[in-house]
Amino acid sequence: MSDPDLQWTGPEGRVLPVVTAPASVLSTVGEEVDPTDPAIVQLAADLVSTMRVSPGCVGLAAPQVGVGVQMFSLNVVGHPKTATSHGTFVLCNAKIIEASRWRPGREGCMSVPDLTGDVKRAGRIVVEAVLPGSGEAVTIATDAFEARALQHEIDHCGGKLFLDRVAGAHAIYQRKVYL
Amino acid sequence: MHELAITVIGPDRTGIVADVAEALAGVGANLTDSTMTRLRGHFAMTLVCNGPTAEEVEGALAPITTGGLLATVRRVEPESDGKPAGEPYLVSVHGADRLGIVAAVTRVVAAAGGNILDLTTRLTGPLYVLVAEVDLPAGAGEELAERLAVAAAELGVDVTLRRSDSEIL
């Protein structure tokens, strides 16, 4: 399997407001998109721009900016838990086709700003998706933190939050505020 | 040997656990199972101890319950700490806060024969979150999931029921 070049090279987008739970769009299964639709390419640019200006944000899904479709941006470059990384990219209609090496880890979400939770995720996954703009079909194999982030964002596209997967009654935590 | 159920709750401050644990140790109360956590700025302790009489423990806690801490001590009969007999499940609920979410969800769980072993709720802003660990009779999961979905739709919240098997190594 050759490793596809996913790097986002589209135009600068708009910075959109991020919606927080309990917003119904976050609990709705997103619709599949036409990756060549100019409005979708614009939304892809907006997701990247919004992700870039949000401190600590490694991924942002369309439902988080109020649009119930299956698209998200991702960038885990430089994160201490990252092993494999594909840079900054946007995927449409992504599906997990293989998942293994399940491991627990603590995660948070811009749409659930006050809580974090322990969630078991696959440490090794294969994802099929299409790229916005070209519509090129890609198959991505990745691991570690990029795999976790992909699963979190694909969950958003399916109307799921990390709260739906926390590992137990004592696995949700009040997020600490550092002043 | 007496078994005692003790609760202590009050405004959080540094040293509550140390004060309570020291007072208990001072009268020979052996602390067995406990949970201690902060709930919206209140510090809440629920403990089971064995050793002295309830009166002795009340006397030992009296000096430290002057600053707004409320303590209760009650003698209980030792219960057999039976292992859960069914299948382990996790229930997650999240949605806009409203009256009766816990009541409605736990009633559905109870009606399915589900025994709640642990449950946490958090209210952050308008978001209400409930996570419960449930011991469910074998084979009851599918029907409970359907009934929870109905209850959740009525409440306008999201619910997930899933198995929570742990690997024994």
What is the interface pTM, i.e. ipTM, of the complex? Answer: 0.90
Q: What pLDDT does A152 receive?
A: 98
Q: CB–CB of B94 and A164 under 8 A? A: yes
B160 chain-A contacts, CB cut-off 8 A: 160, 164-165
pLDDT category of residue B169 using cuts at 50, 70 and 90: confident
Instruction: Establish if B104 belongs to a structural domain.
Output: yes
> Tens digit of pLDDT for each residue in B35-52?
999 999 999 999 999 999
Which of A60, A38, A39 lies closest to A49 in space, CA to CA? A60
3-class DSSP assignment, residue A58: coil
Report yes or no: B75 at the A interface, CB cutoff 8 Å: no
Which residues of chain B lie closer than 8 angstroms to A165, CB-CB? 92, 160, 162
pLDDT-based confidence at B15, cuts 50/70/90?
very high
Q: Is residue B55 assigned to a domain?
A: yes
First to last CA, chain A: 46
What is the set of domains in chain A, with CATH numbers? Answer: 24-174 (3.90.45.10)
Q: What is the pLDDT, as a whole number, of residue A178? A: 53
In this structure, what is the dihedral angle of CA atoms A80, A85, A88, A90, given to the nearest 10 degrees? -120
Q: Are residues B72 and B7 in the same domain?
A: yes
pLDDT at residue A146 in the model = 98
Task: Give residue-wise pLDDT tens across range B85-130.
Answer: 899 999 999 999 999 999 999 999 999 999 999 999 999 999 999 9
Q: How many domains does chain B have?
A: 2
Mean pLDDT of A11-35: 97
| A22–B119 CB contact, under 8 Å | no
User: Strand A112-130 to strand A137-143: parallel, antiparallel, or no bridges (unpaired)?
Assistant: antiparallel
Mutation target among B12, B34, B94, B133 for the A interface, most CBs of A within 10 A: B94
What's the pLDDT band for A4 if we cut at 50, 70, 90?
Answer: confident
Provide the token pair at B5: 């159920």
Are B61 and B93 in the same domain?
A: no
Task: Please check whether residues B158 and B97 belong to one and the same domain.
Answer: yes
Domain identity same for B72 and B49: yes
In a domain, B33, yes or no: yes
Is the same domain home to B95 and B65? Answer: no
Contacts of A22 in chain B (CB under 8 A): 94-96, 126-128, 157
Annotated catalytic residue A153: yes
Q: Is residue B168 assigned to a domain?
A: no
Closest chain B residue to A119, measured at CA: B164
Residue A76 in this model has a pLDDT that exceeds 50: yes
CB-based contacts of A98, cutoff 8 Å, min separation 6: A124, A125, A126
Q: Are residues B68 and B104 in the same domain?
A: no
Residue from B38, B121, B131 to probe the interface with A (highest A Cβ count within 10 Å): B131
- pLDDT of res. A179: 47
Average per-residue pLDDT for chain B:
94
The domain that holds B53 is classified in CATH as: 3.30.70.260
Output the pLDDT for position A175: 85
Pair B110, B140 in one domain: yes
CB A32 within 8 A of CB A93: yes
Q: Rounded to whole angstroms, how far apart are CA atoms B67 and B57?
A: 18
Chain A contact for B136 (CB, 8 A cutoff):
no
A104 touches chain B (CB under 8 A): no
Domain boundary, last residue among B22, B52, B76:
B76
A34 CA: distance to closest CA in chain B (Å): 28
Q: For residue A45, count CB atoms less than 10 angstroms from its CB and return exposed for 0-12, middle for 13-18, buried for 19 or more.
A: buried
Q: Quick one: pLDDT at residue B82?
A: 74
Residue A83 DSSP class: S
Is A104's pLDDT higher than 60?
yes
H-type alpha helices, chain A: 38-53, 144-157
Q: Identify whether residues B62 and B93 lie together within a single domain.
A: no
Query: The tokens 């996570």 sit on which residue?
Result: B131
Query: Is B165 a residue whose pLDDT tops 80?
Result: no
pLDDT confidence of residue A40 = 97
Which residues lie below 8 Å from residue B49, measured CB to CB, with a gap of 6+?
A: B3, B4, B6, B24, B29, B30, B31, B32, B57
How large is the average pLDDT for residues A85-103?
A: 97
Answer with the one of B44, B76, B108 that is the final residue of a domain.
Answer: B76
Q: What percent of chain A has pLDDT over 90?
A: 93
User: Residue B33's pLDDT band (boundaries 50, 70, 90)?
Assistant: very high
Model confidence over B52-65: pLDDT tens digits? 999 999 999 999 99
Q: Does A176 touch chain B (CB under 8 A)?
A: no
Based on the fold, state whether residues B38 and B94 are members of the same structural domain. Answer: no
Classify residue B81: in a domain, yes or no. no
Q: Is B144 domain-assigned?
A: yes
In a domain, B82, yes or no: no
B66 and B125: one domain? no
Residue A39 pLDDT > 70: yes
Instruction: Give percent above pLDDT 90 in chain B.
Output: 89
Q: Last residue of some domain: B76, B105, B121? A: B76
Domain containing residue B56: 2-76
